[in-house]
Structure 1
Amino acid sequence: MQTAADISDFSRRDIPLLGKTKPVLLTGATGPAIIVIHEIYGFTPTLARFCRWVRDAGFHVYAPILFGTPDAGNAETTTLKRTLALCVSREFTLLRANKSSPVTDWLRALARLAHEECGGRGVGAIGMCVTGGFALSMALDPVVLASVLAQPGLPALNHAALDIAPADLAYVQARTREGFALRGYRFEGDTICRAARFKTLRTAFGAAFTGTELPDAAGHPAGLKAQGKPPHSVFTGDLIDAAGEPTRAAVDEVIAFFRWALLQPPEAA
């Protein structure tokens, strides 16, 4: 029987790109590639669960490990050590607005590699929490045909701003005029990804951005609510895996979005 931390159905590859090698967990045997980028916790059992849902819908999943250990043994807790390490890292831009994190260059290279390996029209990308906005920056590469921003939390001190350079934002905006679309998800009471950031995304992208804001009541009672905090992680720790639950329905929406963008013939997409 598979335990929560068992990821024997994933394989690990250490992938060198742009002079840097990072571990990537992969699962899936058919279909286009989806890049699933973990939260500040690293790769966790609930993220592995999300990856399996995407895989079972007919996609290859590439889950790069940007921090934490390359397994599902990472606890869903934020540590001071992890936060400080990200603050001083040259790969991440946690506090500055209107600036893309350098690690997104590597992620775009991964998307190109995944497309070469898996084929299809292109790839999809989803980022979560501190990596939520990375899915937006990844859209600078035309191989990325669908981006999902799950509770994008950066920049941390400017809740209305985006973590993407103005010129990069303008390029993605131009892509939306050619049919590129984005989706975003957050809980209404989330204090990390606040409503102001979704307002900025709606202003920047108009109808090309579909932002879904779930009521806090839809968050799992054993998630952040158990710590006296509003729910935050729509697709992982605060998700309720049961029929009729808004968070589980959000998973189905994301999968349908990826299918629309990646599996339909070009004239139908």
Structure 2
Amino acid sequence: MPHHPADIPDFDALDDFEARQISLLGITKRTYVGGTGPAVIVMTEMPGISPYVGRFARWVRDAGFTVYMPSLFGKDGAMPTRWQSISTIARACISAEFKAFAANKSSPVTQWLRALAKLAHEEAGGPGVGAIGMCFTGNFALSMMLEKSVLAPVLSQPSLPMGQKGGMHIAPDELAAVKARMEAEDLTVKAYRFAGDSFCQAERFAAYEAALGDRFEGTVLPDTSAYPSPILAMPHSVVTLHLIDGAGEPTAKARDEILAFFRMRLEG
């Protein structure tokens, strides 16, 4: 029977972060902030900021960055369960903040996230801001590049739009603006997925590559490299549920590549 890694608690109080109520564009969201150095926006996967997401945020923080981790859905700190996941996804799918089934459109919440990136840059300083989205939020890091402070976007198993395996969850005019900026400023976007992930399939990476060319740096990990999670058997969550924290492990290498990417872009 698969079990959780030893460093994953049943509940993460997140009390080593400052829980701030951040109001932007007339919307207030609890945001966990911690660390020093340039800012990185960590956007949780479904069904919320689990102990696995908290572990990843600490890796980013301990690598020399100020983490800003907004609560976007779910119960903060809770271990995911099947029913919690189903109910949280259902609520998000009908929320005005998300357009879960829409291809060629951007979720409205990305406007708030861009404002958060701007604020984080003002507070933390440095050349700019990093951003990583996972699963339901995976595509958001690309839309956030419309905010000039965002220099290091990472898409981890981007899963929207749901039900459209080759769809891109970003409006065409935004995608064109992002591509133009990437070319003008010599920027890239990193993306990760498992080969057998049915939520983020090869067609989606192919669509991003067709749109962005060599500005899109996609990495596909073998399913055999995934941790056997008791929560989700299918390999999916590259830097959280299915990461194996050990020397030579492809998922640990992916995490280290992401941290190195943040350093390269944000510590200049």
TM over 0.5: yes
Distance 1:67 1:20 in 2: 14
Q: Which runs of 5+ in 2 are unaligned?
A: 1-6
Distance 1:202 1:134 in 2: 16
Alignment of 1:1-269 (within 5 A): 4=9, 5-28=12-35, 30-69=36-75, 71-75=76-80, 77=82, 79-178=85-184, 179-223=186-230, 229-264=233-268
The alignment's TM-score, normalised by the length of structure 2, stands at 0.93
Cα gap change, 1:173 to 1:26, in 2 (>3 Å): same
Q: Residue type of the partner of 1:64?
A: P
Is residue 223–residue 231 contact of structure 1 (8 Å, CA) maintained in 2? no
SS at match of 2:31: strand
Q: Residue type of the partner of 2:202?
A: A
Is residue 44–residue 76 contact of structure 1 (8 Å, CA) maintained in 2? no
**Residue 80 of structure 1: CA displacement?**
2.7
Is residue 220–residue 240 contact of structure 1 (8 Å, CA) maintained in 2? yes
Is residue 76–residue 237 contact of structure 1 (8 Å, CA) maintained in 2? no
The alignment's TM-score, normalised by the length of structure 1, stands at 0.92
Is residue 8–residue 52 contact of structure 2 (8 Å, CA) maintained in 1? no
Q: Residue type of the partner of 2:198?
A: T
Would you say how many aligned residue pairs link Structure 1 and Structure 2? Answer: 258
Cα gap change, 1:223 to 1:176, in 2 (>3 Å): farther
Distance 1:108 1:76 in 2: 30
SS at match of 1:79: helix
Q: Percent identity?
A: 52
Q: Residue type of the partner of 2:102?
A: R
Is residue 124–residue 144 contact of structure 1 (8 Å, CA) maintained in 2? yes
Cα gap change, 1:209 to 1:223, in 2 (>3 Å): farther
Cα gap change, 1:249 to 1:3, in 2 (>3 Å): closer
Cα gap change, 1:199 to 1:223, in 2 (>3 Å): farther
Match of 1:267 in 2: none
Q: Which runs of 5+ in 1 are unaligned?
A: 265-269
Distance 1:258 1:97 in 2: 28
Is residue 41–residue 74 contact of structure 1 (8 Å, CA) maintained in 2? no
Q: Residue type of the partner of 1:73?
A: A
SS at match of 2:41: strand
